[in-house]
Structure 1
Amino acid sequence: MAKSKPRNRQKNRADPTGKPKPPADPELAAIREQRILPVLKDLQSPDLKTRSAAATAISNIIEDSKCRKLLLREQIVKILFEQTLTDSSLETRSAGWGILRNLALEEEADFCIHLYRQDVLTAIEGVVKTIIQTIESQDVPFSKLPTPQQSLVWSLTGSLISLISSLSEAQDEIVEAISKLATIPNFLFGLLSFEPTPLEIQNEALSCLATLVEDNKPLVETIVENGDWLKKLIQIKDSGLATNVAACGVLHNIFSTMQWSDHKTPVEGASDAFLIPTLVHTMETANSHSNGTNGHSSPDQVIQLALEIIASISTSLQEALENGHEKEFEGFADEPADIDADEMDADGDGVEDPAEGAEEDGESEDDEMNMDEIEADMELVTGADSNDDDAPSEELTLERLVRDAAPQILIFAKSPASPDNLIQSAALSALNNIAWTISSIDFSTGHLNSIRKVWSSFVQQTWQEIVSPVLASNTADIELATSITSLAWAVSRSVEGAIKLQPEEQRKFMALYQASKNLNSGPETNGAKKSAEEETDAFQGLGVKCIGVLGSLALHPAPIALNRQIGIFLLTVLAALPDTPAADAVEALNQLMDIYTDKNYDFDEPVFWGDGFYKHLEDIVPKARKLAKSIDKRKFGELRARIDEAVLNTTRFLKYKKTERGLD
């Protein structure tokens, strides 16, 4: 048998032992020769001072993207691991870890994954043990060490903690690996208990812990079982020091992971409700106590962090409330929204024309639902609230969000808009989250009427002071317009549209919707050619939010004229199918069903029936069904599922309205 020809494994392969070739770009080649190669040579010098100076110099040039890429190209990481991080000089070692920290901060997550695969955790654990020994030494107490040496220890500590945080944010597998190293949580909590630890390092440790404990039940359970650790966090939260907000972040993630709430916590005061006063007080005083913060905790950063934690608390509260109610509507009992594969039609689509599939769907004339069954189904379609007696009681957190947090947040949300105004953005996000949480609450029992009254007044103030000025300005800032529209939708929905509008404000949102179409113009607008990431963002688009705002403003008891104007707009959006984006169509259909769900509403007879909305919707259903069939459910699962459901529900809605009117 003939021998196989040996493969040339070296073909087109760089010499693994050779030095990197100079870049072709003249500018990069010059930077490499003048700045990179000399400092790398010094980093490997036999002279201690030269190595140390080189390590410091490299730390300072990493923010320059060109220098950073050239350093990585020249295998800086390999040099650090093999030489710098094991240097005999503490100063050089500290600078080396500083370089790794800065690289991790500047580079994407894959760099941290690369470090993890290079077994950086073992190296970190070794250095952590050395720091612990230095801090806890009985022979030479830390306080007796020379000040420069103490500073080096804290610099090294800060670099390690920051690097651990970056690694934790990169991949769940890395978080799991870090959590299994008892040395690291012991180290972080030890720093919080060690009196000489600078506030900056404590903030770093708390920030790192907040990242590590998020949705990390094994580590959270370890912290809870160690009563001293949890007690320490609560002490810091109540300390009034600059670290209290960071401690609130750790505690909130612990409470969320353990699902502790106002009336469901084994530790008194261990719920989000008890974090809000600290966060609000800190926001009130942060600017006037700037000397209480330093380094990575400027007053603006403290305020931003407090706002982000409140936004997360609001989301957790909404999840707790929703978990206490019936599961989300998943379609009608006799025709589920998620069609089985066996029920799909020949071209692989799950939605059929009712006339074509009447027998399969069990909708023959001999098998009609009665009015009670249809009304029960319509409560599900239109999102009627559940009155589940087992719903969680979260009044304390809710009351503190509405009465204490929201007014303070409004102050920051009114800050002048600018591209780098992170505080205003965080404030808008926090208000948005609170409003969406309020919108999910069933106020029909009456026991929350006082909170509802306060919130309704606050919403009107928010509209007048934030939404109206932006609408009046006709801003060209799309990012700001999107944030404001999102907030407008949330607050209007939370009060079921009961907002006093300035003249023609509804038309401003209609114009904004038209402008939003230009942002995503092109053949891919129906969603069939979008990437997975674009599909995820489709329901967060400006167009969807404009439709959501308008739909909320048209809800009962909206004036008939306003309702008619918005209803016609929504039908016009749908009449443009298939050119209307799928996500916009879904939201428009859902809003129309919400608006015209009840024949007792004042606008039902003159608008829905009088203006022929029923017939328009009948004509739109085939267009929406055709659009649904054009979307590949294998590539765009959520988009296809939601438009399928919207078409299905609209068909049922029309049948319900017809029966409600006595036309069957």
Structure 2
Amino acid sequence: MGKSKPRNRNKSRADPVSKTVKPPSDPELAAIREKKILPCIQDLQSPDLKTRSAAASAITNIIEDTKCRKLLLREQIVRILLEQTLTDSSLETRTAGWGILRNLALEEEADFCIHLYRQDILTAIEGVVKSIIETIESTEHPVAKLPTAQQTLLWTLTGSIVNLLSSLAEAQEEITEAICKRSTIIDFQFGLLQIEIVPDEVDYEVLSCLAVLTEDNKVLVQQIVDTAEWLKKLMQMKDLGDIRAVAACGVLHNVFTTMQWFDHNTPHAGASDATLLPVLVDSMKLAQAQSNSSNGHATSNPDQILQLALEITASIATSLQEALEHGNSFEKEFEGFEDKPEEAGDEMMIEDEGDEEEEKEESDDDEIDPEMEADMDRVTRDAPDDEDADDQPTLDRLVREAVPTIIISAQLLQQSNPEKEALQSHALAALNNIAWTVSSVDFSSGHLDSLERFWTSLAQRIWNEIITPVLASNTADIELASSITSLAWALARSRKGQLQIQPEEQRKFMALYQASRNLEETNKDEKSSAGASPDAFQGLGVKCIGVLGRLALDPAPVELNREIGVFLLTILSSAPNAPAADVVEALNQIFDIYADKSYACDAVFWSDGFFAHLEEILPKARKLTKAIDKRKHEELRARADEVLLNLGRFLKYKKTEKSS
């Protein structure tokens, strides 16, 4: 058999990497491409050094424009950067190239960063990190003695690299793990924090990156704890008094949370979130005072400082709630009516909500060096002498110190300034998280009486100054309405029917519930009532039901209870056409409101025929539950099954209770 002729696989084939890009069909985009994009792309690949540098700078300036950015991506700007610009002989051009990548990562979705990761961008980053380290550690040409322009390029390049790492880490957990496995990158960042000549803005970028990397990252956090100088440096930086201090608090909060260092369950009394709150509160107060002049870099921008402090405070509240639940020191929610053993008969009883002792975990054996101990002692030596503060310092500082300060940022008067709306949103989120945490605290033992009294007054103030004005405004801003309703639910939950509301405010929530239903009806892309979205229980309708249910709890006025009870039954009566999550929440609220015949409102349950209505609703609820596809909506189906079971038990219990 004769040999076959070798195939020339490259014959008549264009380079697949440098394929011709078709111009856009839109005339406006085509004009932008011809006038702005193509000249920049051509100049970026010019053999002339100055031309390349000028093109890189020009591209950096147009990245924020969405149309220009998309056109640059069409022209394969990333390939050009990776293959040519990032390896350019000119430091100025290389710096501009990394700046372009950083800006693209900031402006584009997470998919862009995932694409960069798959292009092995971490290897390129590791290479430039090594060159930066060599420059910083050079004894022949010390950084401090370099020309100012060269120093500026060095720190600009460093900031771009660190910022790009942050974007990459935020995009995907796999990327975070890959970054942390490269010791050169992690050592580089902590090394920068140790160098005094590093500009403040670079320190801030490093701390921001570390905050992203340390979130739920036990491996890196353990490495920080095991490296004494790293943890010590973070503790020192939180006292700097600027945005770097707030950013350092973010990293430390991640460390404390991951290591489960809560209040007294720490290697040292100072190594918990209670240490961070005074820093965050002071930063918020200062930023609020300076917010009228919010121009400048991130390290001096009061609005950015305030936003970051609010975000960290909100996270601290969430972590505290999880810690309280882990320690079993929280009030139990209604978990259903359990059948008694056969020998005890059919009489049903509600589980007692008795006090449970808080479990205290043994402290970790991590060693803290003497210098760090002294630093922590200095921070905590002025802690309040109040017994509540000694028992729950993080909770105490969240309520007594953080909340009054946060209220200022959540005031409705900021709504008139669009630039402040984001701050208001973060403030509402922080108040919401704190209120939910307080609502999980068991005050019945009496050891937190002082804090409970303080919160009672504070919760009413939040309602009067934040909730009431928004309700009165009849806002059409659904996002604001959802945030306000979530906060109202948390406040009502924490006060258990003891909030003083304005006349007709309950009807505002009823109207808001109906508005949420109308909005869902007009949105054809929404899931059907039996096939809700994954976050069905975070919907505005569910939140409205939650608020109303908490407002109706004993010792709420009987008339208020009756009105809300009828409203909840109306929702239930519309099953199986009502959203499944709404039905589940409405039933759970009914169970809580009428759980005990000793409540004054129990008379409403019987006199207004609630029992008979619930009997009629039982088959409707059963039909609704069966319509939920458990493969697509596992949580919704599980909770619907549970509430259906409890409805049968509840009816049996109430019937037995009445006859007893």
Answer whether TM exceeds 0.5 for this pair. Answer: yes
1:573 alignment partner, one of 537, 557, 571:
571
Question: Counterpart of 1:178?
Answer: 179
Structure 1 residue 190: deviation in Å?
1.4
SS in 2 for 1:521: helix
1:635 alignment partner, one of 632, 635, 654:
632
Question: Counterpart of 1:455?
Answer: 455
Question: Is residue 32–residue 70 contact of structure 1 (8 Å, CA) maintained in 2?
Answer: yes
Distance 1:617 1:466, change over 3 A: same
Cα RMSD (Å) of the superposition? 2.4
Question: Counterpart of 1:255?
Answer: 256
Distance 1:148 1:525, change over 3 A: closer
Deviations 1:40-89 (A, max 9, x none): 11111111110000001111111111211111111111111111000010
SS in 2 for 1:93: helix
Aligned length: 613
Question: Is residue 237–residue 248 contact of structure 1 (8 Å, CA) maintained in 2?
Answer: yes
Distance 1:368 1:66, change over 3 A: farther
Distance 1:386 1:192, change over 3 A: same
1:558 alignment partner, one of 552, 556, 559:
556
Aligned positions of 1:12-27 closer than 5 A: 16=16, 17-27=18-28
Question: Counterpart of 2:515?
Answer: 515
Aligned counterparts of 1:99 and 1:230: Cα–Cα separation in 2: 33
Deviations 1:350-404 (A, max 9, x none): xxxxxxxxxxxxx9xx9476467x32xx328xxx465144267961101001111
Deviations 1:249-273 (A, max 9, x none): 0100111111111011114411000
Q: Which amino acid aligns with 1:77?
A: V
Structure 1 residue 138: deviation in Å?
1.0
Structure 1 residue 163: deviation in Å?
0.3
Aligned counterparts of 2:269 and 2:225: Cα–Cα separation in 1: 13
Question: Is residue 314–residue 429 contact of structure 2 (8 Å, CA) maintained in 1?
Answer: yes
Structure 1 residue 559: deviation in Å?
1.2
Distance 1:334 1:495, change over 3 A: closer
Question: Counterpart of 1:351?
Answer: none
Question: Is residue 133–residue 188 contact of structure 2 (8 Å, CA) maintained in 1?
Answer: yes
Question: Counterpart of 2:489?
Answer: 489
Question: Counterpart of 2:194?
Answer: 193
Question: Is residue 321–residue 391 contact of structure 1 (8 Å, CA) maintained in 2?
Answer: no
Deviations 1:450-501 (A, max 9, x none): 1000000001111111111111122222221111111111111111121111
% same residue? 64
Question: Counterpart of 1:662?
Answer: 659
Aligned counterparts of 2:443 and 2:333: Cα–Cα separation in 1: 20
2:606 alignment partner, one of 609, 617, 641:
609
Aligned counterparts of 2:444 and 2:360: Cα–Cα separation in 1: 14
Structure 1 residue 27: deviation in Å?
2.1
SS in 1 for 2:441: coil
**Residue 33 of structure 2 is aligned to residue 61 of structure 1:** no
1:646 alignment partner, one of 643, 647, 652:
643
Question: Is residue 242–residue 292 contact of structure 1 (8 Å, CA) maintained in 2?
Answer: no
Q: Which amino acid aligns with 2:249?
A: C
SS in 2 for 1:416: helix
Question: Is residue 525–residue 581 contact of structure 1 (8 Å, CA) maintained in 2?
Answer: no
Question: Counterpart of 1:407?
Answer: 404
Question: Counterpart of 2:547?
Answer: 549
1:390 alignment partner, one of 359, 381, 392:
359
Aligned positions of 1:232-311 closer than 5 A: 232-288=233-289, 294-297=296-299, 298-311=301-314
Question: Is residue 337–residue 650 contact of structure 2 (8 Å, CA) maintained in 1?
Answer: no
Deviations 1:409-438 (A, max 9, x none): 111111421555111111110010001001
Question: Counterpart of 1:528?
Answer: 530
Question: Counterpart of 1:224?
Answer: 225
Structure 1 residue 557: deviation in Å?
0.6
SS in 1 for 2:538: coil
Question: Counterpart of 2:323?
Answer: 320
Question: Counterpart of 1:588?
Answer: 586
Question: Counterpart of 1:340?
Answer: none
Aligned counterparts of 2:148 and 2:193: Cα–Cα separation in 1: 20
Question: Is residue 329–residue 358 contact of structure 2 (8 Å, CA) maintained in 1?
Answer: no
Aligned positions of 1:33-72 closer than 5 A: 33-72=34-73
Aligned counterparts of 2:48 and 2:100: Cα–Cα separation in 1: 19
TM-score normalized with structure 2 length: 0.89
Deviates more, 1:261-270 or 1:48-57: 261-270
Question: Counterpart of 1:619?
Answer: 616
Aligned counterparts of 2:335 and 2:542: Cα–Cα separation in 1: 22
Deviates more, 1:495-504 or 1:24-33: 24-33
